[in-house]
């Protein structure tokens, strides 16, 4: 029972520090230091310095700020305007009309951003005014945008997959490949929801009055070609084994700068703003990772993860029961923490359990990200909800209720990925010979 008391101690102390308003990273470092002082003989300062430096100097982690910077550059271009102009001719005649621009636009921007909040902000700043002007229902408009924005966490290059890969010391390239098919599956599920919702609510849906010829559709698609080319270059270079994730990130930054230059949006001001935004986000994430690594070390010295894994193994839980418990756990945790913090905070304890249960760690990363995606649209701490609240001037409760059906679809996606793990593993297995 010792491991239970230790777990309660660590969790209670951590929740107390988080509740008092202390930064997540500082809270983890404080819990680690106190735990090591009380339960080990290892010098705290030496352990903290060695661990944090070892984490910060990881070459794999250099992909993170580069992908963040790529997203920041494109956030300040005409990308949202181009997405709307390029997609609307093709999607306007589907049941649900231009609401599908939210889903497809988020999926496309997710493939060049890696951030859920940035995906919502970029697509929403153009789609919300345009769809409101055409009298689309607010519930469908905001719900589809909140849910689709979570694709930024799953479709590569995903920031959270980079962090997960660094944490478990596994291939980020394989994780990126594993996220493609589940990401497409979720996007299709969201589009089907929009179609069925619009069919059931025909009376309040606006009717498309403009017909686009095939030539007009092709001409509109020219707006999307630079973005599609950039996505293909970044993801394709990883998929074919030509580049590592870090090298592909460098390619993405160069491509984003070139795209911004030819769109006329690259100026000294936008360049500095993108660099500053990327620096702030990357430092925040790096600080959290450093804190979580130190927490993992401290827990390792106390023997907590190993003993807890043995204790859970002694409960004889089936693999599916363990996944069910973890799903509930992460949904609850996501109500109070952002996705990145939830992952780095728990992997020290969760990883030994998952390995002992025999799950593939690449597959588990995709499962975990889909579950964590739910946290982006669950109050009281749902980043997508906050972003939409500031953009749409709507009550947080209204946006959360609008996004709830998509939350249920994510639960269905988790079930599908659990039953059919090959959805996540087929691409990395097929291309494992080419992926570094």
Of the candidates 114, 105, 47, the one whose C-alpha atom is nearest the C-alpha of residue 340 is: 114
- pLDDT score, position 217: 75
Angle formed by the axes of helices 339-357 and 304-314, nearest 10°:
60
- Residue holding tokens 């929740």? 15
Of 1, 92, 7, nearest in space to 304 by CA: 7
Q: Is residue 31 part of a domain?
A: no
Per-residue confidence of the chain (436 residues) as pLDDT tens digits? 565 666 677 777 877 886 777 777 788 788 888 888 887 777 788 778 777 777 666 676 777 788 888 878 877 777 767 777 788 888 878 888 888 988 988 888 888 777 777 788 878 877 888 888 888 899 999 999 989 988 888 888 888 888 888 888 888 889 999 999 999 999 999 999 999 999 998 888 887 656 777 777 777 777 778 888 888 888 888 778 788 878 888 888 998 899 888 888 888 898 999 899 888 878 877 787 777 778 767 776 766 656 665 666 667 778 888 888 888 888 877 776 667 777 877 787 788 788 878 889 999 999 999 998 887 788 766 777 877 887 788 887 888 899 999 999 999 999 999 999 999 999 888 876 554 4
Is there a domain that residue 4 lies in? no
Question: What integer pLDDT is reported at residue 238 of this predicted model?
Answer: 79
Rounded Cα distance between 356 and 38, Å, is 28
Contact between 341 and 45 (Cβ < 8 Å): no
Torsion of CA 401, 136, 215, 191, to 10 degrees: 20
The region that residue 23 occupies, defined by phi over 0 for left and psi between -120 and 50 for alpha, beta otherwise, is beta
326 in a structural domain? yes
CA 46/CA 140 separation, integer angstroms: 54
The separation between CA 49 and the C-alpha centre of its own chain, rounded to angstroms, equals: 29
Would you call 78 exposed, middle or buried from its count of C-beta atoms within 10 A (0-12, 13-18, 19+)? Answer: middle
Rounded CA-CA distance 275/267 in Å is: 12
- The string of DSSP codes covering 408-433 is HHHHHHHHHHHH-THHHHHHHHHTTT
Sign of CA dihedral 167, 173, 174, 175: positive
pLDDT given at position 336 = 67
CA dist., res. 157 & res. 178, Å (int): 11
For residue 276, the SS3 value is: helix
Q: How many helices (H) and strands (E) does the chain have?
A: 21, 0
Q: Which two tokens stand for residue 199?
A: 């069919």
* Cα–Cα distance for residue pair 110/297, rounded to 1 Å: 33
Domain-located, residue 3:
no
Contact yes or no for 160/371 (Cβ under 8 A): no
Determine contact, residues 72/121, Cβ cutoff 8 Å: no
Q: What is the largest CA-CA distance in the chain?
A: 75
Question: Running DSSP on this structure, what letter comes out for residue 99?
Answer: G
Beta strands in 74-171, from DSSP E residues, in sequence order: none
**Could you give the CA distance from residue 123 to residue 145 in angstroms, rounded to a whole number?**
8
Report if residue 435 sits inside a domain: no
pLDDT at position 432, please? 66
**166: its two tokens:** 């660094």
Domain residues for the domain of 242 are: 44-430
Q: How far apart are the first and last CA of the chain?
A: 43
Residue 434 and residue 240 in contact, taking contact as beta carbons nearer than 8 Å: yes
pTM of the full structure: 0.79
Any domain includes 69: yes
Query: How confident is the model at residue 3, as a pLDDT?
Result: 55
Question: How many whole angstroms separate alpha carbon 20 and alpha carbon 301?
Answer: 27
Count of structural domains within the chain = 1
Measured in whole angstroms, how far is the alpha carbon of residue 407 from the centre of its chain? 15
Of residues 250, 107, 243, the one with CA closest to residue 172: 243
Residue 108 lies in a domain: yes
pLDDT at 179: 92
**What pLDDT, in 10s, does the model give residues 82-91?**
777 788 888 8
> What's the rounded Cα separation, in Å, for the pair 74 and 66?
13
If you count them, how many residues does the chain have?
436
Token couple for 178: 């594993």
CA 138 remoteness from chain centre: 25
Q: Dihedral angle at the C-alpha atoms of 138, 144, 150, 154, nearest 10 degrees?
A: -170
């Amino acid at each position: 029972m010792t491991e239970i008391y230790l777990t309660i101690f660590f969790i209670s102390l951590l929740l107390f520090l988080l509740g008092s308003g202390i930064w997540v990273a500082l809270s983890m470092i404080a819990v680690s230091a106190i735990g090591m002082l009380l339960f080990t003989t290892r010098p705290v300062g030496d352990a903290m310095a060695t661990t944090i430096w070892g984490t910060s100097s990881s070459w794999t982690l250099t992909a993170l700020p580069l992908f963040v910077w790529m997203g920041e550059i494109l956030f300040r271009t005409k990308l949202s305007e181009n997405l709307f102009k390029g997609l609307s001719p093709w999607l306007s005649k589907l049941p649900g009309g231009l609401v599908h621009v939210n889903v497809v636009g988020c999926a496309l921007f997710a493939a060049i951003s890696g951030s859920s909040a940035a995906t919502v902000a970029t697509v929403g700043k153009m789609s919300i005014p345009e769809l409101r002007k055409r009298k689309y229902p607010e519930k469908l408009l905001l719900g589809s945008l909140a849910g689709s924005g979570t694709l930024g966490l799953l479709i590569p290059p995903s920031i959270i997959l980079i962090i997960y890969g660094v944490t478990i010391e596994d291939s980020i390239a394989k994780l990126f490949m594993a996220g493609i098919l589940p990401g497409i599956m979720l996007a299709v599920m969201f589009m089907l929801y929009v179609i069925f919702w619009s069919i059931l609510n025909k009376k309040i849906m606006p009717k498309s009055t403009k017909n686009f010829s095939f030539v007009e559709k092709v001409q509109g698609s020219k707006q999307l070609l630079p973005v599609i080319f950039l996505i293909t270059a970044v993801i394709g270079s990883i998929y074919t084994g030509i580049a590592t994730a870090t090298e592909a990130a460098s390619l993405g930054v160069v491509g984003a700068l070139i795209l911004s230059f030819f769109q006329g949006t690259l100026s000294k001001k936008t360049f500095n703003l993108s660099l500053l935004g990327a620096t702030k986000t990357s430092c925040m994430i790096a600080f959290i990772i450093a804190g979580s690594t130190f927490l993992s070390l401290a827990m390792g010295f106390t023997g907590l993860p190993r003993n807890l894994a043995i204790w859970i193994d002694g409960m004889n839980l089936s693999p599916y029961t363990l996944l069910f418990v973890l799903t509930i756990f992460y949904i609850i945790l996501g109500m109070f923490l952002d996705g990145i913090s939830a992952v780095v905070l728990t992997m020290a304890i969760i990883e030994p359990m998952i390995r002992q249960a025999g799950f593939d760690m690449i597959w588990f990363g995709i499962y975990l990200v889909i579950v964590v995606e739910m946290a982006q649209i669950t109050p009281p701490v749902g980043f997508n909800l906050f972003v939409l609240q500031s953009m749409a001037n709507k009550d947080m409760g209204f946006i959360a209720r609008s996004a709830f059906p998509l939350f249920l679809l994510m639960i269905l996606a988790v079930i599908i990925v659990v039953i059919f793990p090959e959805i996540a593993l087929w691409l990395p297995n097929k291309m494992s010979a080419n992926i570094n």
